[in-house]
Amino acid sequence: MLNRPQSTINNEGNNLNGNSLFNLLHSDDALRIKNEKATSFYKKNQPLFIEGSYPRGVFCIISGKVKVFSTGETGKEQIIRIAGAGDVVGFRALFSEEPYRLSATTLEESSIFFIKIEDFLELVHSQPELLQAVLRELSKESGERADFIKAMAQKTVRERLAFVLLVLESIYKDDLINLSREDLANFVGTATETLIRLLKDFKDENLIEVQGRKIKLIDVDRIYQESGY
Amino acid sequence: MLNRPQSTINNEGNNLNGNSLFNLLHSDDALRIKNEKATSFYKKNQPLFIEGSYPRGVFCIISGKVKVFSTGETGKEQIIRIAGAGDVVGFRALFSEEPYRLSATTLEESSIFFIKIEDFLELVHSQPELLQAVLRELSKESGERADFIKAMAQKTVRERLAFVLLVLESIYKDDLINLSREDLANFVGTATETLIRLLKDFKDENLIEVQGRKIKLIDVDRIYQESGY
DNA sequence: CGAGCGATTGAAAAGACTCAACCACCGTGG
DNA sequence: CCACGGTGGTTGAGTCTTTTCAATCGCTCG
């Protein structure tokens, strides 16, 4: 069996075990009670935070999807991560004493609970497992980003698309991948037109099926091969 | 005055204040005594650690330069970071319970002290400031890497070269930048030939001066403009 | 129905890479 | 002391991927 990059860029890997950041936060009783009220519903395309502003807390995604991105000088977004249910977003900036470098926006209706910065930091410093989880998550993120840098520098657009499709599959799980062509292009790091042409190639080669804007992976093994890993 | 990206990719910013990871480690008396013996001299091109192996500790660079990189399927290296005196290398993997994703190799004769993983972790968990520094450093690294991803995806090679030259200047400080053309290309994320041609352009435009393999920045402000930030 | 946005296609241009050859420098060994 | 070989640096030319720009299409919404 191929060793697919399921734990890369997104952090699905952690969601399965109880020690993930999300699970530790979510299973905290006091916090949960507090958060019965703190859980909010977000419509599509609502921002959680914006590049340059200062962090006020962390966001735990109960359901829905969020894109985390940075906007270039030309206005083009580079998506760094797509987060889904069980992911925690926006905790990096809490420790760096800097404003956010990235923005986060919902991609679909989402249910998200918010933990205030004071509460979060207090928890982190009072629960060793939580601290451990934060350190692990941060480290993992940093490592994955190094891989991403290499991919951007050395891989072709086609290879990156294959890779991104696999990552997205692990985030969308049973659902079909459902992203605008532009967002998909901004994740792969290419022009929208190039992305569309490559998607068509993939379809012609029976690697994927396309249903409107939705994408279904047909031949995962071959897509993996195409990703060049 | 332009706001140059001095604190990006490398971590020079921290070296000036006493709370940097390096300073906290270096000023720890017990550790320092222990490390009188643990400080080693490395020749040029000696590896500190290699992608895929398991971490045994962290490396504090007293003097010299180290490249941190990942090797692609084709054998081409992508340099993620160049570390110099006052930098700490190899601590990310300690917290992620993974093998190293990156390799590190000296670029010149270096003097480096090594802290064993047990000692390091014990210190981190007994000294709040040190923990704080680790969290800050990890966060900063992750944020910088997000920027790097965007640069790779959206900027031209020329812009990236300008940017990398500024970063390198902050690492080489008073010295001239002294890297092989290949390493420079692998940092910028381009082919060696392309890099050489662009360097020539920069020279013709009086942005830099070239002395053998060494590079001197002449017009920093204009280089900054060229970087597209 | 018309406006507007996202998706798609085509054609041309540009940026960057590859390949191949050549040069320059340097240390080695005869 | 000098020829030799090797490595890193440089140049040229051709190719290819990817981008850009322009135009069209299809659909939804007011």
pLDDT value at position A160?
Answer: 98
A92 contacts chain B (CB < 8 A): yes
A154–B189 C-beta distance less than 8 A: yes
Q: What is the 3-state secondary structure (H, E, C) of chain A?
A: CCCCCCCCCCCHHHHCCCCCHHHHHHCCHHHHHHHHHHEEEECCCCEEECCCCCCCEEEEEEECCEEEEEECCCCCEEEEEEECCCCEECCHHHHHCCCCCCEEEECCCEEEEEEEHHHHHHHHHHCHHHHHHHHHHHHHHHHHHHHHHHHHHHCCHHHHHHHHHHHHHHHHCCCCEECCHHHHHHHHCCCHHHHHHHHHHHHHCCCEEEECCEEEECCHHHHHHHCCC
Of A136, A140, A142, the CB nearest to B145: A142
User: What is the biggest distance separating any 2 CA atoms in chain A, rounded to whole angstroms?
Assistant: 55
pLDDT value at position A34?
Answer: 66
pLDDT value at position A90?
Answer: 96
For tokens 């860029």, the residue is A9
Contacts of B147 in chain A (CB under 8 A): 70, 101
> Is residue A2's pLDDT more than 50?
no
Nucleotides of C under 7 A from a protein CB: 6-11, 15-20
Name the closest residue on chain B to residue A94, using Cα atoms: B139
Q: Most B CBs within 10 Å: which of A81, A131, A154, as the mutation test of the B interface?
A: A154
Q: How far is the CA of A70 from the C1' of D23 (A)?
A: 30
Among the ranges given (A27-41, A150-164, A174-188, A211-225), the one the predictor scored with the smallest mean pLDDT? A27-41
Q: For every one of its 229 residues, what pLDDT tens digit does chain B have, with 9 covering 90 and above?
A: 334 444 444 444 444 466 888 888 888 766 666 666 678 999 999 999 999 999 999 999 999 999 999 999 999 999 999 999 999 999 999 998 899 999 999 999 999 999 999 999 999 999 999 999 999 999 999 999 999 999 999 999 999 999 999 999 999 999 999 999 999 999 999 999 999 999 999 999 999 999 999 999 999 999 999 999 8
B74 contacts chain A (CB < 8 A): yes
* pLDDT tens digit sequence for A80-118: 999 999 999 999 999 988 999 999 999 999 999 999 999
B192 contacts chain A (CB < 8 A): no
pLDDT value at position A7?
Answer: 40
> Is residue A186's pLDDT more than 90?
yes
How many beta-carbon contacts under 8 Å exist across A and B? 119
Using C1' positions and the CA of B182, the closest nucleotide is D8
* CA pseudo-torsion sign B156, B157, B163, B166: negative
Contacts of B138 in chain A (CB under 8 A): 95, 135, 138-139, 142
> Global pTM?
0.93
Nucleotides of D under 7 A from a protein CB: 8-13, 17-22
CA dist., res. A23 & res. A32, Å (int)? 11
Average pLDDT over residues A52-73: 96
B76–A143 C-beta distance less than 8 A: no
Among the ranges given (A16-20, A49-53, A54-58), the one the predictor scored with the smallest mean pLDDT? A16-20
B29 contacts chain A (CB < 8 A): no
Contacts of A153 in chain B (CB under 8 A): 78, 152, 189
> Is residue A5's pLDDT more than 70?
no
Average pLDDT over residues A46-63: 96
DSSP H helical segments within B60-178, as ranges? Answer: 92-96, 117-126, 128-154, 157-172
Of B73, B92, B150, the CB nearest to A72: B150
A48 contacts chain B (CB < 8 A): no
Q: Most B CBs within 10 Å: which of A96, A130, A229, as the mutation test of the B interface?
A: A96
Q: How far is the CA of B176 from the C1' of D2 (A)?
A: 34
A50 contacts chain B (CB < 8 A): no
Mean pLDDT (chain A, rounded): 90
The pair phi, psi for residue B71, each rounded to 5°, is: -100, 125
Q: What stretch of H or E contains B199?
A: helix B192-204
> Is residue A10's pLDDT more than 60?
no
